[in-house]
Amino acid sequence: MEFGTGGGGGSGWDNDSSSDPQRRKKCYHRHTANQIQRLEAMFKECPHPDEKQRLQLSRELGLAPRQIKFWFQNRRTQMKAQHERADNSALRAENDKIRCENIAIREALKNVICPSCGGPPLQDPYFDEHKLRIENAHLKEELDRVSSIAAKFIGRPISQLPPIHPPHFSSLELSMASFPSQEIGCPSLDLDLLPASSTSVPTLPYHHPIHLSAVDKSLMTEIATNAMAELLRLSQTNEPFWIKSTNDGRDVLDLETYEQAFPRPNSPFKNPHFRTEATRDSGVVIMNSEALVDMFMDSNKWTELFPTIVSIARTIEVISSGLLGTQNGSLQLMYQELQLLSPLVSTRHFYILRFCQQIEHGTWAVVDVSYNIPRENQIVSHSQCHRLPSGCLIQDMPNGYSKVTWIEHVEVEDRGSTNWLCRDLIHSGLAFGAERWVATLQRMSERLACLMMTGSSSQDLGGVIPSSEGKRSMMKLAQRMVNNFCASISSSHGHRWTTLSGMNEVGVRVTVHKSMDPGQPNGVVLSAATTIWLSVSPQTIFNFFKNDRTRSQWDVLSDGNPVQEVAHITNGSHPGNAISVLRAFNTSQNNMLILQESCIDSSGSLVVYCPVDLPAMNVVMSGEDPSSIPLLPSGFTILPDGRRDQGEGTSSSLDVHSRSGGSLLTVAFQILVSSLPSGKLNLESVTTVNNLISTTLHQIKTALNCHSS
C-alpha cells in the first residue's frame, strides 16, 4: 500500500521496487520548484483533476500518476485547514467584540434612570435574582423560627393548621364596597381596578411559539389521518353507529357500538365525571364544496362564517399547506373557543388538528381532533373538553349547492359547573351539537348569497338604498354589528365577567373595557347581560321583537313612540332573516336612526340593534366603506330551554322552536360611560345599566303575559 505526503510543501515519497522484499524501504524525495509551480497553477484552475489530467501532468513533470493524485489530496486538505483557521480567527474576533459591547452595555445600564420619573438605576437581573434568593432564605429561616414558637402554644406543628385563604372579591365588588348602594352620585372608581381588555372582542393572549420537530409533525399527520378515517366511517349511512333519539328523532351516537369499533383502552377520559355529546345532522348549503373548504381552512373566515358559535379561532402552525395549490392534504394546528350566546355558559376551548382531504371529485372532508401541546405553550392550562374526530363531509350538488353531513363528538368534564338554567339545553346536545352547526351554516350561506347578489329584491324597500353597493355596505355594517354583539356577551377567557346579585336568580353580569377601535366609540364601555327563563316558545318571543307595533313596549331608543321601517334588506329564505333601518316618531333626536338585524334558524334566534346617526347612515347607503362608523350594539338572544313540552307526545319534528316548552332569553346592553379612554367608571353607570335591564325584562314579561323562574 502506497501513501503520499508533502502537499504544497513539495516533498513526497515512493516505494523502491528494488528493495528487499522482506523489508520494503521507502524512498523520499522533494519536488522541484518547477514541479511545485506547475502543480499550484493547475490546482488554482482545477482542484479536482480527473484521471486524464493527472496522466498529462505525470508526463509533463516526470512524476507517477499516484504522486499527482496524492499531492492534490494533500493540497485540498491544507486549503480546508487554512480556511477553518481563518474562520475561527474571524469568529473569535467577533466574539471578543460582542463581549466588549456587552460589558459596556452592562456598565451603562447601571447608570440608567427613568427619563420621566427619575427612578433608581436599573439592576442587573442576575444580581436581582441573587438578592431575592438570599432574602428568600432569610424568610424561610424566620418562618421556621415563628412556626416552632407557635407550635409550643398550639400543641401541634404549624403545618397541620388549615390554610388561611384571603377572602375573594371580584374587581368590581372590591371597587364598589366602599360606597353604599343608595348613593348614586358617588366618586369615580378607578377603571384599572376592573377586569378589562383593550377591545370588546375577546382577544387571544400571547401564544408562545411552538417548535415542531419532524417527529412531532409525523405524529400529527398520523393522528389526523386516523381521525379522517373515523370521520368517514361515522358519516356513512350504512354504518350502524347512529340511532334515532326517542325524544326528537335526531341522530345520536350508539356509544356501545362506537367503542367496539374504535376502542380506546388508555383514554384519560374514562371516568364518571366526563359526559359524551355525539350528534349527526345534514343539510343542503348554497355554496359549492371548494368554496366551503377554503373558508373552513382559513381561521378568520371560519370565525366570520360562524359568529354565533366561534368566538376565537387562530391557526398556530401550518403543518402541511396542501397539494398542487389546493386544500387537499392541508393540515393545521389550531386554537378555538366555541360559545353559547349567554354569559352563564363558559366557552369551550380546544387545541385541535384540522385536516382536509379530497375524497373524490366534488367530495371533500374536513376533520377536527384534539391535540395535546406542551403546557408552557398553552393559553389555558386545563381544558374541560376533548374533541374526538368531528367535522363534515361535503358533497357537491347541481346548481352550485352542496350537501353537508356534520358530526360533533366531544367528551366534556362536568363536575356540576353547568348553570342549572342552561343544563337541559347543553345536556340535550342542542347547545353545541351538529344541528346547530348545520343550521348556522345554511343561514350564513344564504346571507353570503344575498351579499353577492346585484340589484335589489322585490322584498327590499326601494328608493332609500339607491344601489347594490349601498346594499352591500349596509350588510357589512350589520354583520360587524352582530359580531360585536356576540363578542360582548361571550364568556371567553379574554373576557371576564363580574356578577351583580339581586336582580334575578342568576344576576346581571357586567364587564368594562377601554374602546380604541375605529369601529367603536372611543372611551370606556360598560357591557351588561343576563339570562332568564320564560314560559313561552322562542318563536313567540322572536315575533314579539320583530313586530314594529310592539317595539315601544320594550325599546328605550324609541322613547315609547311607534317606529317606522324606512329600509329593508332580505337576508335569506326565512322572512325573519333581515336587516332593517328604523325611525322613531316624535322623538327629540330626529337625526337618529336604528340599525337592526334579526337572525333565526332551527337552533335559535337573535335580534341586534344599534343607534346610528343620519349622516353616517347616508354614507353607508351611498356604498362607501362602513368600517369606521362607530357601533355600540345591544339586543337579545333567544334559545330553546332544552326541555320537552309535555303536550308534544313523541313528535319527531326537527323544528326546535316548536318542540321546546320554554325559552332562554339573554338581554345585553352596552353603554358609553366616558368618551375619554382615561375616564373613570362610577357607580351611577352600573346602577343605570342594572335598572335598564331590570325595566326591560319587566316590560317584556308584562307584554308577553308570561312568568320567569
Say what the pLDDT of residue 436 is. 96
CB 444 within 8 A of CB 529: no
Residue 173 in domain: no
- Which of 14, 47, 82 terminates a domain? The answer is 82
Q: Per the structure, how many domains does the chain have?
A: 3
CB 523 within 8 A of CB 548: no
CB 321 within 8 A of CB 474: no
Q: Which of 161-175, 201-215, 270-284, 689-703 bottoms out in mean pLDDT, i.e. has the lowest?
A: 161-175
CB 445 within 8 A of CB 286: yes
Residue 238 in domain: yes
**In this structure, are 527 and 440 located in the same domain?**
no
Most confident of 42-56, 225-239, 249-263, 358-372: 358-372
Say what the pLDDT of residue 192 is. 38
**In this structure, are 303 and 225 located in the same domain?**
yes
Give the tens place of pLDDT for each residue, 528-554.
999 999 999 999 999 999 998 889 889
Say what the pLDDT of residue 320 is. 93
Q: Which amino acid is at 481?
A: M
Q: What is the distance between the terminal CA atoms of the chain, rounded to a whole angstrom?
A: 101
Asked whether the predicted pLDDT for residue 281 surpasses 70, the reply is: yes
DSSP letters for 541-581: HHHHHH-GGGGGGT-GGGTT--EEEEEEEE-SSSTTSEEEE
What average pLDDT score do residues 702-708 get?
81
CB 249 within 8 A of CB 276: no
C-alpha cell at 45: 484552475
- Which of 408, 425, 452 terminates a domain? The answer is 452
Say what the pLDDT of residue 154 is. 42
CB atoms within 10 A of CB 535: 15
Q: Which amino acid is at 651?
A: S
Asked whether the predicted pLDDT for residue 217 surpasses 80, the reply is: yes
What average pLDDT score do residues 155-163 get?
44
Residue 304 in domain: yes
**DSSP designation for 638:** E
CB 388 within 8 A of CB 378: no
Q: How many helices (H) and strands (E) does the chain have?
A: 16, 21
**In this structure, are 430 and 572 located in the same domain?**
no
**In this structure, are 253 and 331 located in the same domain?**
yes
Residue 463 in domain: no
Say what the pLDDT of residue 1 is. 38
Q: Are strands 634-640 and 604-613 parallel, antiparallel or unpaired?
A: antiparallel
Average predicted confidence (pLDDT) for the chain: 78
Percentage above 70 pLDDT, the chain? 73
Q: Are strands 563-570 and 578-584 parallel, antiparallel or unpaired?
A: antiparallel
What average pLDDT score do residues 290-313 get?
94
Give the tens place of pLDDT for each residue, 569-585.
998 889 999 999 998 87
- Which of 82, 111, 139 terminates a domain? The answer is 82
Residue 167 in domain: no
Confidence of residue 238 (pLDDT cuts 50, 70, 90): confident
Asked whether the predicted pLDDT for residue 223 surpasses 50, the reply is: yes
**In this structure, are 386 and 355 located in the same domain?**
yes
3-state secondary structure of 640: strand
**In this structure, are 444 and 472 located in the same domain?**
no
CATH at residue 508? 3.30.530.20
Say what the pLDDT of residue 109 is. 67
**In this structure, are 488 and 441 located in the same domain?**
no
CATH at residue 70? 1.10.10.60
- Report d(CA 634, CA 646) in Å as an integer: 34
Say what the pLDDT of residue 457 is. 54
CB atoms within 10 A of CB 59: 9
Q: Which amino acid is at 49?
A: P
Give the tens place of pLDDT for each residue, 81-94.
888 888 888 888 88
Phi, psi of 134 (to 5 degrees): -65, -45
Say what the pLDDT of residue 180 is. 32
Say what the pLDDT of residue 188 is. 36
Confidence of residue 19 (pLDDT cuts 50, 70, 90): very low
Residue 153 in domain: no
- Report d(CA 356, CA 335) in Å as an integer: 16
- Indicate if the alpha-carbon torsion angle 101, 105, 108, 110 is positive or negative: negative
Confidence of residue 667 (pLDDT cuts 50, 70, 90): very high
What average pLDDT score do residues 261-269 get?
69
Radius of gyration of the chain, Cα coordinates, nearest whole angstrom: 37
- Report d(CA 596, CA 617) in Å as an integer: 12
**In this structure, are 428 and 511 located in the same domain?**
no
- Indicate if the alpha-carbon torsion angle 306, 307, 308, 314 is positive or negative: positive
Most confident of 54-63, 132-141, 175-184, 381-390: 54-63
**In this structure, are 417 and 476 located in the same domain?**
no
CB 494 within 8 A of CB 204: yes
- Residue for cell digits 502537499? 7
Residue 115 in domain: no
Say what the pLDDT of residue 244 is. 85
**In this structure, are 433 and 547 located in the same domain?**
no
| Beta bridge pairs of residue 244 | 251
Say what the pLDDT of residue 515 is. 78
Domain hosting 522: range is: 468-643+661-704
Task: Between 501 and 73, name the one with better pLDDT.
Answer: 73
Give the tens place of pLDDT for each residue, 369-403.
999 887 666 665 556 789 999 999 999 998 889 99
672: alpha, beta or left? (left if phi > 0; alpha if psi -120 to 50)? beta
Asked whether the predicted pLDDT for residue 197 surpasses 70, the reply is: no
Cα dist from 320 to 171, 182, 297, 327, 351, whole Å: 44, 61, 12, 9, 17
- Residue for cell digits 347594490? 468
Question: Residues 213-231, buried b or exposed e (16+ Cβ, 10 A)?
Answer: eeebeeebbebbeebbebb
**In this structure, are 446 and 586 located in the same domain?**
no
Question: Residues 634-670, buried b or exposed e (16+ Cβ, 10 A)?
Answer: bbbbbbbbbebeeeeeeeeeeebbebbbbbbbbbbbb
- Report d(CA 456, CA 581) in Å as an integer: 16
Residue 506 in domain: yes
Give the tens place of pLDDT for each residue, 607-629.
999 999 988 998 898 888 898 89
**In this structure, are 448 and 482 located in the same domain?**
no
DSSP letters for 266-304: T-TT-STTEEEEEEEEEEEESS-HHHHHHHHTSHHHHHH
